[in-house]
Structures are given as structure tokens and as C-alpha cells.
Structure 1
Amino acid sequence: MSLLTHVLACLFGMGSWVAINGMWVELPLVVTEIPEGWYLPSYLTVLIQMANIGPLFITLMHRFRPGVLDERPVIYCIVGLGIVATFLLAFFWRQTMTIGGSLHSVPLLVLTFLLSVVDCTSSVTFLPFMMRLRPQYLTTYFVGEGLSGLVPALVALTQGVGLVHCQNATLAVVANQTADNATMVGSGELQAIYQPARFSAQVFFVFLSVMMVVSLVAFILLNHHPSVARERKNDLYFSGDLAPGKREQGLSLHAQTPEQKPMISHLESKREAKSSFGKGTYSNLEVVFIFVVLAWVNALTNAILPSVQSYSCLPYGNKAYHLAATMAAVANPVACFIAMFLPIRSLFFMGFLTMFGTGFGAYNMAMAALSPCPLLVHSASGTAVIVLAWILFVLSLSYVKVTIGVILRDEGHSALVWCGAVVQLGSMLGAVSMFPLVSVYGLFRSGDACNTKCPM
């Protein structure tokens, strides 16, 4: 394997979701400068779901016109669009327009929609492109995809986004009996004051544009660098429409890597007829199981739990919230590294790990529902448990996502297209289900980073 190809695959993967992830972590700075305020996250959720028109078009093209659409020109277009949109965002995100008698951040919303189209479409184009390389590089790509969330988060932490300090607040003025004498009375409560950022949102958006440029350069080198070309030429098993004899030859080359046969039940699998999906490795029941797990895991990790992370963590304090968010972002690429060196493709183990991660997700959701007074809110153990729960939740389900991606990669090009489509479908269903609960009905209550008053 080529180290250069691994690095390029990682840098290419970083461009998949870096724009939208960067927008989310920059929200505390952005919302104070625009008329939408903290309604912006709700608008972002809607815009991201509208952007699924891109993956829908790509998926339908592969379904009804197989072989007509080449991912490479599409990737050049969407990554180029991402570069331009993030660069323009740096200079126009504060601009407003009057619509219906009120001010709205039209340039910000339009550019965010374009970035959502870029990132959503990457799910159904980047993965199928990785089909051209050996399966080991797909895991490296997932590492880069994880870094697309981690790197902006670390830069935002360096920037000082969302960091607060608590100070005494004077809440009332009580007049004495005489009109000419007034005394300021402090309640003893603390007020959360956001610290000024070390550099502006404009610099941050330019940084995102540079990351998109790096991803584009990596993609160009993956297509044209001689060492990468040799990697593609030597990979017979994954070269698309091969003759049966050559495919068997490629299979013998691929057999050098030990691989477990993923089964729900070994005996039942023997009796069941194999499906027509991919290369026919799995039964219909196994294919359904894989895609249901994929949709469920992405719904949890991309939409359902992120929408309530602040509710579950902020009652324990601002440090707990930032530690949980940062360590959860670190857990994603760590899971990819584990999958690279310890691949376990058993569907039974995949189901177990999904239930394991879902259990920690249920705990996080329960703490969000109990906000602002979750369990152990006044103790250091409560803080440790909530941070650990977020780490294990992301770590286990990220491993499941990588495993499914590698399994479907072995099933061929169309399988990876459907993989990306199901990822977007699961994320969309999760966002649609949580949006009314969080933004419309207000079922979750925020905890105050400085004043959490709960019974002991």
C-alpha cells in the first residue's frame, strides 16, 4: 500500500462534511450578528434536508441510467462550488436584505444551502469514487470524514467560540422609602458572559475554504498521480465490470486479507437464496438488516443526538459540554483507526455494537429530557459519566458505519451509491423527527452553564 495514497484519501475525505460541520461549530459567533439569532439552527436543519435533492438526483441516475453518470466530473463541480461558497461566506455572511418588512440574512442562507448541497451530494459521489481504490483506502477515507468534524471543532476551540465565564449579576433595583435614595440589590446569581473570539468568523470561513481547496488538490492527485494510478491498476477485484475469469483472479488477490463471512445465522444463511444485490454475497434478510442498521446509526449520530447535545451536557457546566463535544469528535476518527487495524465484519457483532451504542445514546437522550436537572448534576461523577457516554456512543456507532461502508464496498459500485443514499435518508428522518420536538414544541429545556439550581 502507498502511504501517499492513504494521506490523499484522508485529505479527500476531510472535504466531505467540513463546510457544514464548520458552520455548526461557528454558530455562537454568527448568531449574535444576524437578525435570525438562535433561530438559525432551525433554518440550517431545514436547508440541509432541502439539499438532499442532490443525492436524490445522483441515486436516481444510477438507478435508471446505470453507467451513464461518472462521479469524477460531479465531484469536481461540487468541491469547486464548496470552495467558492465558503470563500464568499467569509465576506457576505453579515449582509442582510429586507423581505416582507423584516431583515433576513439572505446571502448567509443561500450560501449555506449551496454548502449543504455540496456536503450531502458527497455521500453519494465520494464513496463510489473510492471504489476505484483498494478497500484499505476506504477506511482511511472514513478517517478523513471523521476529521472533517474534528478539525473545525478544534479550530473553533482555539478561536474561543462558545467559551463563557460567570460573573455576578445585579438583577434588581429596590427603591427605599425615600424617593431620593435607591440601593442596588444583587441577587447573588451568576451571569454567563461569552468571551470575545481570538479571531473573526471571516477568518474561520476562509480557513474552511482552504480546507476545501486541500480536498480538491487531493482529489486531483488521486486521479492523476502515478503512484495512485499503480494502485488502481493492480486492483483487479474492484475494477468494476470485469470478466468472470478476471474477477476470480482478483478475488484470489483479495483473499490475502483475512475476512470473516458476515452472517446473522450461519445455518439459516445456507438455506436462504442469495439476493441479487451487489455480488449476491448476502441474503435479502441480511441486505435489509445492513441498510436498516445504517439508516438507524446515521439518524442517531447525524441528527437525533446532536440536536440535544447541549441539553444533555450544559447542566453539568460549560466545561462538560465542550469536553463532551470535543472528545466525541475525536472518537469518530479513532473508531476509523480501530476499524483499519481490527476489522470485524460479523453482522451479529455489528448488531451487538449497534445496541451497545444505542444504549449510551438513550442515556444521553434521557439526560437531555431531564434537563436542566439530570442525574448527578451536582457531582463530578455525573460530569464524567455524561462525557464518557458521549464518547462511547460516537465511538461504537462510528465503528459500525465504517464496517458497513467496507462491507458494501466489497459488493460493488452500486452498493456504495445506495450506501450514501441510505446515510442521507437516515439523517433526514432523524432531523425531521427531532425538529418539531426541539424547535416547535420545546420539549427540551436548556440548562444554565452558571446557574443550575436543582434539588440535591
Structure 2
Amino acid sequence: MSLLTHVLAVLFGMGSWVSINGLWVELPLMVPQIPEGWYLPSYLSILIQMSNVGPLFVTLMHRFRPGALNEAAVIYVIIAVGTVASFLLGFFWKEKVMVAGIPRSVALLVLTFFLAAVDCTSSVTFLPFMMRLKPQYLTTYYIGEGVSGLLPAIVALIQGVGVVHCLNSTESLNNTLSNTSSALTSGLQAHYQPANFSVEVFFFFLSAMMLVCLVSFLLLDYHPSVARERPNGRYANSAKQQAQKNQNCAEQKPMMDPHGPSNRRRRSGFGRGTYSWTQVLYIFGILAWVNALTNVVLPSVQSYSCIPYGNNIYHLSATLAAVSNPVACFIAMFLPIRSLVLMGALTGIGSGLGAYIMVMAVLSPCPLMVHHDAGGAVTVLFWVLFVLSLSYVKVMIGVMLRDEGHSALVCCGAVVQLGSLLGAVTMFPLVSVYQFFSSGDPCNTTCPQ
């Protein structure tokens, strides 16, 4: 294996979601300076789901016009668009335009739509492109995808986003009944630390990361050392070519494998026929479920599940959960298990951990053990194990579908986006419309002992 190819695969995967992940972690600094305020996360959720027209178009092209879409050209275009959009956000994210007499952040919303379209379309283009390389590099790509969430979080921590200091405050309260006396009350108030560098600098950093992704893809596409890592020295670019190759292999395999049964048959018409249709539906069902939980459902309530235990618990859980994603991918590199039973077991464990986190979010601002250090420790531990287990499941499925061919990875990316869409449709009304969850105060706890 080539160390250069591994590094390039990580940097390439990093560009898949770095822009949108970066936008989310920067919200605490952006919201006070734009007219949408804290309605912006709701708008972002809608824009991200609207941008699924990108992966829908690519998937339909692969289905009805196999071979007509130049996959590499699409990747060059979307990475270039992501680079330019991130750079322009550094200049125009605060600009306001009057729409029907109301100030709106039109430039921010339009550029965010382009970023979301880039990241969503990467799910159905980046993964199939990895068919160019040997299977072990797909796991490296998933490490880079995990880093796309970790890196912006680390930079945001260095920037000082959301760092709270609880300070004593004293205020005078007028007695409205007699209007002659006053009382002094004291308590703790949350004071957010000023950022170490501006939002503009952060967006320029995101643009630089997308540029790194573009250079990495260019080298993956043309570098001679990478070319030697391609299986059989070639790549079936279209779905039609891949299907023909799989068919030829299936026909030749009984003669080429003297130890296998001569009457081996395809179990289904999916990919190379390794799995039956029931197993295919099982795999894709788990894939959609896992991505709904990890990409939308649980992240949308992370603050509700953690803030009651303190701001430090929230930042610790967010950071360690982000670290857990690439760690799971790293583990999968050395333990690439392809067991449907293990996949189901890990999904069940991760779902159970997610259920506990969801219950704590529902109970906010008074979750279990809110007055004890153990409560925060358990919440952080469950967040880490939740991300670790389900991230490993996602890599398992990616490796299994990679063995099934190019079209299987296209379907993999489409199901990832479908799962995220279903999660967003479920959580958006609960969080933003009906306001089902209540946030805790990071400095003051009003729950009974």
C-alpha cells in the first residue's frame, strides 16, 4: 500500500462535508449578527434537504443513462463550487437585502445552498470514485470523512466558539407593589468569550480546506504512484462497463476457482449477486437508519442532552464524539469484518445508546443525575460509544458494497442522503416548530435535588 495514496484519500474524504459541518459549528458567532437569528438553523435544515436534487440527478443518470455522466468531471465541478462558495461567504455572510420590507441574509442562504448541494452530491460521487483504488483505501476515505466533522470542531474550539464563563451578577429589582423598596438578588450569568479570530477568517479556512480537497483529487486522478494502486490497472467508469465486468467474472469464476462449487449462482440481481434481495434490503435499511441517527436525529438534540450538565460537558461530548468517527474508521481498517449479524448487533447497541441520549434530551432541563458528576460522565461516554459503534457500521456497509461494484456504491450514497432526509423531516417539526425540547441553563440549575 502507498502512504501517499492513503494521505490523499484522507484529504479527499475530508472535503466531503467539511463546509456544512464548519457552518454548523460557527452558528453561535453568526446568529447575533444576522436578521434571521436562531431561526437560521431551521433555514439551513431546509436548504440542505432541498440540495438533495444534486444526488437525485446523479443517481437517476446512473440508472437511466449509464456511462453518460463523467464522474470525475462532476467531482471537479462540485469541489470547485464548494471552494468558491466558502470563499465568497467570507465576504458576504453578513450582507442584508430587503425582501418584502424585511432584511434577509440572501447571500448567506444562497451560498449555503450551493455548499449543501456540493456536500450532498459528494455522497454519490466521491464513494463511487474510490472504486478506482484498492478496497483498503475506501476505509481511509471514511477516516477523511470523519475528519471533515472533527477538524472544523477543533478550529472552532481554538477560535473560542461557545466558550462560556459563569460570572456573578447583581441587579436591582424594583418592588412594583410599594414602589418604595428594592431588593438585591445575585446569581450566575453566562458570558460568552469573544472569538479569537473572526467568522470571515473561519470561512477562508473552510475555503482552503476545499482547495486542499481539490488538489488531493487531482493527484488521485493523475499521479503515477496512485495509478499503481488501481486494481488491474484500470477503472470501469460507467455502470454499464462495471455490470459487464461483473457478468464476465461471474461466468469465468467456476473455471478460475477449482476449490469452489461449479454450480455457484448469483443470489440476486444486485451487484455481483453475493447477497439475496432480503439481505440487500436489510443492509440498506440499516444504512438509512444509522445515517438518520448520526447525521440528523441525535445531533439536533445534542445541546439539549448535554447543556443541563454544564457547558464543559457539552463541548467535551461534541469533541470526543467527533473524534470517535475517524477512530471507528481506523479500527475498521484493521478489522474489516463483513458480518451481517455483527452489523445488526452494533446497530442495536448504538440505537440503545441513542435512545438514552434522546430520553435525556426530552427530560431537559432536568435529566437524570443532573446534580451529579456521574450524570455528565455517562452522557459523554454514551455519546462516544454511540458515534463509535454506528460509524463502524457505516464503514462495514461501505466496504461490503464496494465489493459489489460501482453501482452499489452509487446506491450507498443515495441511501445515505435518503436516511438523512427522513431524519430531518422527522426532527425539524419537533425541534423548530413544536419546540418539543427545552434547553438548560449552563450556569444555573433549577431542578429539584
Could you say which residue in structure 1 is the equivalent of 2:222? Answer: 224
1:53 aligns with 2:53: yes
Shift of the 249–327 alpha-carbon distance from structure 1 to 2, 3 Å rule, reads farther
Could you say which residue in structure 1 is the equivalent of 2:110? Answer: 110
Letter of the 1:202 counterpart:
E
Give the drift of 1:231. 1.2
Shift of the 73–245 alpha-carbon distance from structure 1 to 2, 3 Å rule, reads closer
Could you say which residue in structure 2 is the equivalent of 1:323? Answer: 316
2-side partners of 1:413 and 1:207: how far apart?
33
Contact kept in structure 1, 2:90 and 2:204, CA below 8 Å: yes
Could you say which residue in structure 2 is the equivalent of 1:355? Answer: 348
2-side partners of 1:97 and 1:388: how far apart?
45
Query: 2:440 aligns to what SS in structure 1?
Result: coil
- Cα deviation per residue 1:345-367 (whole Å; 9 max; x = unaligned)? 10000000000000000000000
Could you say which residue in structure 2 is the equivalent of 1:207? Answer: 205
Q: Percent identity?
A: 67
Letter of the 2:335 counterpart:
L
Shift of the 273–182 alpha-carbon distance from structure 1 to 2, 3 Å rule, reads same
Give the drift of 1:290. 0.2
Letter of the 1:217 counterpart:
V
Shift of the 230–379 alpha-carbon distance from structure 1 to 2, 3 Å rule, reads same
Shift of the 271–9 alpha-carbon distance from structure 1 to 2, 3 Å rule, reads closer
Query: 2:396 aligns to what SS in structure 1?
Result: helix
Could you say which residue in structure 2 is the equivalent of 1:312? Answer: 305
Contact kept in structure 2, 1:167 and 1:190, CA below 8 Å: yes
Contact kept in structure 1, 2:132 and 2:235, CA below 8 Å: no
2-side partners of 1:273 and 1:130: how far apart?
25
Query: 1:188 aligns to what SS in structure 2?
Result: strand
Query: 2:230 aligns to what SS in structure 1?
Result: helix
Alignment of 1:87-126 (within 5 A): 87-126=87-126
Letter of the 1:200 counterpart:
S
Contact kept in structure 2, 1:133 and 1:238, CA below 8 Å: no
2-side partners of 1:428 and 1:280: how far apart?
28
Give the drift of 1:381. 0.5
Alignment of 1:27-106 (within 5 A): 27-106=27-106
User: What RMSD over aligned residues (CA atoms) do the two structures have, in Å?
Assistant: 2.4
Query: 2:174 aligns to what SS in structure 1?
Result: strand
2-side partners of 1:46 and 1:244: how far apart?
39
Shift of the 365–271 alpha-carbon distance from structure 1 to 2, 3 Å rule, reads farther
Shift of the 176–438 alpha-carbon distance from structure 1 to 2, 3 Å rule, reads closer
2-side partners of 1:251 and 1:378: how far apart?
64
Query: 2:173 aligns to what SS in structure 1?
Result: strand
1-side partners of 2:406 and 2:138: how far apart?
13
Give the drift of 1:173. 2.4
Q: Relative to structure 2, which stretch is displaced further, 13-22 or 236-245? A: 236-245
2-side partners of 1:273 and 1:351: how far apart?
24
1-side partners of 2:27 and 2:100: how far apart?
25
Could you say which residue in structure 2 is the equivalent of 1:407? Answer: 400
1-side partners of 2:174 and 2:108: how far apart?
44
Structure 2 stretches lacking a partner, 5+ long? 258-262
Give the drift of 1:332. 0.1
- Cα deviation per residue 1:291-326 (whole Å; 9 max; x = unaligned)? 000000000000100000000000000000000000
Give the drift of 1:190. 1.4
Letter of the 1:359 counterpart:
G
Could you say which residue in structure 1 is the equivalent of 2:161? Answer: 161
Give the drift of 1:70. 1.9
2:366 to 354, 357, 373: 373
Could you say which residue in structure 1 is the equivalent of 2:146? Answer: 146
1-side partners of 2:291 and 2:245: how far apart?
35
Give the drift of 1:235. 5.4
Calculate the TM-score normalised by the size of structure 2: 0.93
Give the drift of 1:100. 1.4
Query: 1:187 aligns to what SS in structure 2?
Result: strand
Structure 1 stretches lacking a partner, 5+ long? 256-269
2:419 to 415, 423, 426: 426
Give the drift of 1:169. 3.0
Contact kept in structure 2, 1:139 and 1:340, CA below 8 Å: yes
1-side partners of 2:423 and 2:245: how far apart?
41
Q: Relative to structure 2, which stretch is displaced further, 8-17 or 243-252? A: 243-252
Could you say which residue in structure 1 is the equivalent of 2:20? Answer: 20
Shift of the 445–397 alpha-carbon distance from structure 1 to 2, 3 Å rule, reads same
Number of residue pairs the alignment of both structures matches: 438
